[in-house]
A and B are shown apart, each in its own frame.
Chain A
Amino acid sequence: MKARYPGYNVLDKRGTVSWDDVTREVIKQRMAPPSESRFLDPLAWQTLQAVCESVMPQSPEAAQIPVAAMLDERLRTNAGDGYRDMRLPPLRQAWRIGLAALNEESIATFRQPYYSLAAPQRHLLLERMQRGELVHPAWHGLPSDIFFSNRVLKDICAIYYSHPYAWNQIGFGGPANPRGYVRMYFDRRDPWEAAEAKPGHEVRARRGKHRVR
């Protein structure tokens, strides 16, 4: 897929007035998460990595967003949302049950652990989870569709889009303090915003990146 914001890297603005010290520190920490599991057991960790690859597929050439590691870290600190659908157990328990159950479903259906499935089969199981069709006893009564929407999508996608690499893909301006924005109208862009490659204008957009300052 052609990049819509070729050459745009929100991190190029790190040293500019668009970023303040607090934000620099926060993003620095986000860019350096532990690379392996510190909370989940090895099987759950492998399953989680496979789930993340399906839910938020990343091109192997691109710099990777370590979604699974960031989620594992969140589970380690047990950082809650402030609410829980009553059909779900607490955060850690929900993930433990859900990942184990998904693996059991995989073994029951494909006679392989989930992490060793090919991408289409992984996808298939997740689609069935989304529709609430997974009812293996390993779910312990947890409705798989609620787990899918309230935990799998919500947690994984929120982590993915908290990462600067994801902001680059969608052309989000990123941190903005003390400098915010000046040009607010349709089709107006501040020089420190991502230049979009309109079809046929990719070169111009790439040139535009030098103005991201």
Chain B
Amino acid sequence: MQAPGQLKAAHSFTRSSSLLAWSVLADSAMEHYRGSFTNPAMTLPLASSLCALMAGIHSSGDSRPRRHVVRHAIYWSAAGIGIAGTAFHCYNIGKRPGGWCWNNLFYAAPIGAPMALLLSGVFGDVAERMREKPAVQPRLLGLPAWQSTALLCAAGLLGTAGEVGLLHLRGSFQHRAMYAPVLLAPAAATLLIHAAAVRRKPHWAARIALLAAQWLGVIGVLFHARGVARSQGGWRNWSQNLLSGPPLPAPPSLTALAMAGIAALRLEKAES
């Protein structure tokens, strides 16, 4: 019999995966529309994230204790497309005049963005695997599952911090709140790594940091919406400001990662 805790954790990771997929869907739709879909491959992340999103919805209504082959394949392909996208974005920057100059890092294809699709795939994969794990002390990637997922989240948080840092640097940190995700995400990642390394301790600090990061992702959308409103023409000029203003779909990926981190810690609690 599958312990309800395992299924609950699986559903948590699915939710993270789905939220990330939604974020990628919206973000890549907007950014690749901005890029005029000059390369047909630019539709791939849209299709892939849409599939991942649908797989997530399907998964949430599925309480069977085994993985679903199609869903699992979708998550794997999402992860693959995420990696390919990163490679493609790097190639794209490299071939522009100026190469790896700041202007291209700021304004050309964002190198960090496709990683969100990779993470969506990975969390989906984790969720699928969790369904088949034994009730007691499930293991993943050679480690207790809660540890490996916590480390994954921490890596994702660090990557996100890097990308947010780059883009908020582009925005000259003109508002103090722009420092928040750049400081909070690495802090949460550090505490999560610490929690995963120092076992069987109350992880309240990591939990608080993750909760804060989770809400910051929500507040971030509001800040970004305000940024769009502050741009010339405000929301009336949406056809420009949604594309060149602060990206609305970006902050939820922080929420998704924090949720996954919390799910990892909950997994540990369920174990102990």
Residues of A that sit less than 8 Å from B by CB: 17, 177-183, 188-189, 191-192
Contact = CB atoms under 8 A, between A and B. Distances in A.
Contacts of A180: 232, 240
Interface of B: 34, 36, 38, 232-234, 236-237, 239-240, 243-244
A188 B234 CA distance: 24
A183 B34 contact: yes
Contacts of A183: 34, 36
Given A179-B233, A182-B34, A189-B36, 16 more contacts: A17-B236, A17-B239, A177-B233, A178-B232, A178-B233, A178-B236, A179-B232, A179-B237, A179-B239, A179-B240, A180-B232, A181-B240, A182-B240, A182-B243, A183-B36, A188-B36
Nearest to B238: A17
Contacts of A182: 34, 240, 243-244
Contacts of B237: 17, 178-179
Nearest to A177: B232
Given A17-B233, A178-B232, A182-B244, A192 B239 contact: yes
Contacts of B244: 182
Contacts of A178: 232-234, 236-237
Q: Which 9 A-B pairs have the closest CB atoms?
A: A178-B233, A178-B232, A17-B237, A182-B243, A179-B240, A178-B237, A179-B237, A182-B244, A182-B240
Contacts of A189: 36
A189 B38 CA distance: 11
Contacts of B239: 17, 179, 191-192
A23 B71 CA distance: 55
A191 B238 CA distance: 13
Contacts of A179: 232-233, 237, 239-240
